[in-house]
Amino acid sequence: MHKLTQRLLTSIRDARLMKPGHRVGVAVSGGADSVALLRLLLELRDELGIVLSVVHFNHHIRGDASDSDEAFVCELASRYDLEFHHSGDDVPSYAVAEHLSLEAAARRLRYRYFESLLRAGVLDRIATAHTLDDQAETVLLRLIRGAGTRGLAGIFPVVQVESEIPGGPSGQIIRPLLHIRRPDLERYLQDLHQPWRDDASNFDPKHARNRVRQTLLPVIESEFTPAIRHRLGDLGEIARAEEEHWDKIVRGALPAVKSEARALNIRGLLMHDLALQRRLLRAIAHEIGLSLEFEQVQEVLQLARSHASGEKRIALGDDWCAVRLGDRLSFEHREQAAYPSGYEYVLNVPGQIGVPELRSTFEARLVPRVAAGCMDQILTTRLGQPLTVRNWRPGDRFFPAHTKSPKKLKELLQERHIPQAERHLWPVIQSGDEIVWVRGFACPAHLWVKETEEEALVISEHPGSLV
């Protein structure tokens, strides 16, 4: 038995990832990691007593190359007489429709297919080929983006997929290679003379993960420590254990703090340490479908510690607010009388419209392209008309120029530290289904006026004036 095969067998048994009789689908993209996982499990299937099959999802991102990957995986399954489960979707079109990055759209559709196989009872487990390198890259990326301990937990070795109907089939997505390096898998395949497919997108520097893999991690390895990948993997494992530990503490402390479904006793909350205070707030909010970010947790804690008499409230997005009254802190739907309900006006091109809620006027002008000025703020005249001026809404996404991908507008406003009171009425301008202008941000680069166009569209806001 190859030494790598023995390592994998030990990991699977220690973590109890599979049981005899399990129908295990191996998610194979055609790349080295997934092909190696398939070959390793082929060696171990008799020892483990499992029934193997191959699962492939065609993202249709790279045209003929994507189809060639699918044909390669199909041939591999046929060579070892394995059942081949395959599906696909037009990921680029889905990404545009849902305002997602290609990577996020591909992952969503791929895992939706995996989950459908588990919920249909076709498979008991689906094994993906995430490695220690993937874990290190994920933890480092999340650290850079400001994640808390839950984010630093990285890639979980097991994800439970529950049935959508009571008593129906369920299963797990498992990651048995999280303790194995990518170079070890490539050497294993070379020893077997087993070819694999390389995905060119894995080398494209426009993706943040590729820059971390090709630039940042090698610099850290050479200039600071060659063990950085193992240390990041250890950090992820520590964070996962911390989260499991904290979950038990929160479940134990929650009943004494929570006075009713959406409310808690402030005195009971503040008797705990700060770390538990934060987690208790997030747990209560999570029960009602409200996801609190760090900034919002801090605002709610400040409200809880305040000594103002009477009722006091703060906004938590468009739908919820935190309300303090006496020793009671509750999460409630925002009252329309207390907060403006929003606005929506038609802006003709050319034309202008007053927005009383902002005490501003918005103007759309057509000017010669050569006199249009800053490229970031001018748009093509090919936009659908008329335009719509409105306040931003939950779920809105925007793709400012000079950024890598679309983001939730809520996140963009938080990054600029826009106060909650101002955030609610922050203006956007929409053309068709796309947001083309947001106060304070560069317009999307794909909507900039082209050199072949004679005219440009300039949108401007004039605060303090109403037409």
State the CATH number of the domain containing residue 10: 3.40.50.620
Query: For residue 86, is it within any domain?
Result: yes
Distance of CA 414 to the CA centre of its chain: 16
In a domain? residue 251: no
The answer to whether residue 275 is domain-embedded is yes
Q: Domain holding 335: CATH number?
A: 3.30.465.60
Residues 274 and 351 placed together within one structural domain of the fold: no
What is the domain count for the chain? 3
Residue 72 scores a pLDDT above 70: yes
- pLDDT above 90 covers a percentage of the chain that reads 51
Residues 277 and 367 reside in one and the same domain: no
- Give yes or no: residues 75 and 155 share one domain: yes
Cβ within 8 Å of residue 377, ≥6 positions away? 442, 443, 458, 459
Domain boundary among 339, 356, 375: 339
Q: Which two tokens stand for residue 179?
A: 């303790």
Domain that holds residue 7: 3-231
Q: What is the 3-state secondary structure (H, E, C) of 202-260?
A: HHCCCCHHHHHHHHHHHHHHHHCCCCHHHHHHHHHHHHHHHHHHHHHHHHHHHHHHEEE
- Among residues 176, 208, 231, the one where a domain terminates is 231
| Same domain (yes/no): 42, 176 | yes
CB atoms within 10 A of CB 282: 21
Compute the average pLDDT of residues 61-78: 93
Secondary structure of residue 345 in the 3-state scheme? strand
Any domain includes 156: yes
244 falls within a domain: no
Query: What residue type is 465 in one-letter code?
Result: S
Examine the domain organization and report whether 66 and 183 are in the same domain: yes
What the block records as the tokens of 212 is 């971390």
Structure tokens at 451: 């050199």
Residues 380, 291 share a domain = no
Task: Check whether residue 157 and residue 28 sit in a common domain.
Answer: yes
pLDDT value, residue 308 = 64
Residue 267 CA to residue 329 CA, distance in Å, equals 10
Are residues 147 and 286 located together in one domain of the fold?
A: no
Query: Residue 188: pLDDT band by 50, 70, 90 thresholds?
Result: very high
In a domain, 65, yes or no: yes
Residues 409 and 334 in one domain: no
At residue 208, the pLDDT reads 84
Average pLDDT score over residue span 60-88 = 94
Non-local CB neighbours of 187 within 8 Å, separated by 6+ positions: none
pLDDT (average), residues 95-117: 89
Is residue 269 domain-shared with residue 349, that is, in the same domain?
A: no
Identify the CA nearest to 106 among candidates 125, 119, 93, 116: 93
Among residues 288, 311, 339, the one where a domain terminates is 339
Looking at residue 337, its pLDDT comes to 37
Same domain, 192 and 271: no
Nearest one of 266, 458, 249 to 367, comparing CA atoms:
458
**Residue 248, domain member (yes or no):** no
Tokens representing residue 69 in the block:
């990957």
Residues 52 and 191 grouped into a single domain: yes
| 238 in a structural domain | no
Per-residue pLDDT at 97 exceeds 80: yes
pLDDT digits 0-9 by tens, 438-449: 998 888 888 888
pLDDT mean over 150-166: 86
Q: What is the pLDDT of residue 263?
A: 85
Q: Tokens 């934060």, residue?
A: 278
